[in-house]
A and B are shown apart, each in its own frame.
Chain A
Amino acid sequence: VPVAVEGEDRALLLAALLDEALWTFESRGELAVGADVAVSEGRAQGELLVARGTAPAGPQIKAVTFHQLDVTERAGAWHATVYFDV
């Protein structure tokens, strides 16, 4: 599924991409299992890789929050913190 989101920083871009994944599942019943996007100048564009199917067991995610939202690079690896509303 093609995807394009905007956000002033990487954390906002990640939240926006996850929002798109949630929306794709809720509106089309397609479960995002990965993403292939290029990030530049406040924009992430590419594709959500989806599989048809039911939600995995466990609490349903209702929203992506901005609580302690963070994406940072440390020692050559990316670390992200995202809280979901369930």
Chain B
Amino acid sequence: MKTRKISDFLWEVPQGEVAGMRVPGRVFADETLLEKARADRALEQVANVATLPGIVKASFAMPDIHWGYGFPVGGVAATDVDAGGVVSPGGVGFDICCGVRLLRSELTADDVRGRLKELVAVLGRRIPRGVGTKGLLRLDREGLARVMRDGVYAPIADGIGWESDAERCEDQGRLEGAEPAAVSDRAYERGAPQCGSLGAGNHFLEVQVVDEIFDPPAAEAFEIRVDQVCVMIHSGSRGLGHQVCTDELKVFDRLMRREGISVPDRQLACGPVTAPEAERYLGAMTAAANFARANRHVLADGVRRCFAEVFRRDAASLGMRLVYDVAHNLAKLERHEVDGIGRTLCVHRKGATRAFGPGHPELADRYRATGQPVIIPGSMGSASFVLCGTEEGRDAAFGSTCHGAGRAMSRTQARKRMGGRELAAELERGGVLVDATQWGLLAEEAPYAYKDVAAVVDVCEGAGLSRKVARLRPLAVVKG
């Protein structure tokens, strides 16, 4: 795949590299990250996405890009709704609204050092995790529909979590336009028992400590400071989101044929945003997204209870406020300027995070001056970051930035290198406690299986997509 250097942090895949490209591909990367993307054929996927009807500007890739199903993970594609632009369920992915939330506290590293083992044991016991687990909240059909409609407001109304949590979420904790009636019975059945569960795979909960501040005013606005203990939660919409995507792939495969659209990979199945099937998908996707936000909200409530139990103080006096909650698998209708004209775009972010800058009208008042917080988990045992949206990022890639370190090694390769228990022992020697449910699979998430998250966020900053605010290092990992 041919690439042309545009700047130190931006590369172009010229139109024509894949037949039918409507726009070029644009990859934010340094030379090392670009070569990694080329090696796992993710660049070819960037070019494939550029064939989608109605796509504007470019098929973008964030620096943590890697190979995915059809769409690359780390891809951003926006289509013009009024010019035949399409939405693609595969461009959102199976884990709809998978994302990350960060809780801060008034505890310091010294405060938790002697209690860490106990804390990990309590978290491991109380927070449901692993394959097919039942969540902290058991919902009937009506209860689940309410969660899908109201997002975090549903558990808040039942006394779970804090009212102040809502405005500290992207979309203020609830996406408009959810259609619980568009969600299949199977998705209901899979979702109902799972609200408030981590799941498996790369999902986790981490106790971290802030070890460096890069932007003191933004850190102050986000209420984070050096030596402060935080908790990061990475989870998504569980079986419900997977079922919605599975159901819709079939619908869009047919819709695409009816509309005479052809794409290089069936997982890119798509249809005009204005088609009834697409409206239905967006309603179901939004419902699943609200479920995912409520899931992380309920998990955070569980984490607060665990801290209260171990430190014998209530979560409010421990200062366990939410820093922010971001999604990194979503499609949204947003207003952006293209060639100087305001347009409604369907922005797909798959393994990419919205990063709106200062003054953006969609942000809650408390983030208007700084831009929104962006939470970037590193690989297990390595650093994580808090970033901040920028004004220039809006023109760069529709106000988007990276979502994590990005896989550099396949799961199988990673497992071959080291066993799970051996890896946990090594991490513990480095000062990170690990608790897992499936030790055999732990090595799939080893730090060496991922790219260097510091290099990824540096490219984002260099390219103006986002700014660094703080770095956190892990003290303990509770794996899904």
Q: Which residues of A contact B (CB under 8 A)?
A: 7-8, 11-12, 16, 19, 23, 26-27, 55, 57-60, 62-69, 83, 85-86
Contact = CB atoms under 8 A, between A and B. Distances in A.
B69 A83 contact: yes
Given A26-B239, A60-B131, A64-B246, A85 B94 contact: yes
Contacts, number: 68
A17 to B, nearest CB: 13
A67 B190 contact: no
B276 interface: no
B392 interface: no
B94 A67 contact: no
B267 A12 contact: no
Contacts of B444: 59
B143 to A, nearest CB: 19
B109 interface: no
Given A85-B242, A86-B201, A59 B267 contact: no
Contact of A65 (B69, B201, B257): B69
Contact of A67 (B70, B132, B253): B70
Interface string B410-454: 010000000000000000000000000000110010000000000
B200 interface: yes
Interface of B is mostly: helix
Interface residues of B, number: 28
A40 to B, nearest CB: 19
A67 B265 CA distance: 6
A63 B201 CA distance: 13
Contacts of B267: 65-69
Given A68-B267, A83-B69, 14 more contacts: A8-B254, A8-B257, A11-B266, A26-B239, A59-B441, A60-B132, A60-B200, A62-B201, A63-B242, A65-B94, A66-B269, A67-B70, A85-B69, A85-B94
Contacts of A85: 69, 94, 242
A42 to B, nearest CB: 11
B90 interface: yes
Contact of A12 (B69, B201, B253, B265): B253
B69 A27 contact: no
A82 B269 CA distance: 16
4 smallest CB-CB distances across A and B, nearest first, come from A67-B69, A66-B266, A67-B267, A65-B69
Contact of B266 (A26, A59, A69): A69
B94 A62 contact: yes
B96 to A, nearest CB: 11
B189 interface: yes
Given A19-B246, A59-B441, A26 B132 contact: yes
Contact of B186 (A8, A12, A23, A65): A23
Given A23-B186, A26-B132, A63 B253 contact: no
B245 interface: yes
B115 interface: no
Interface string B200-226: 110000000000000000000000000
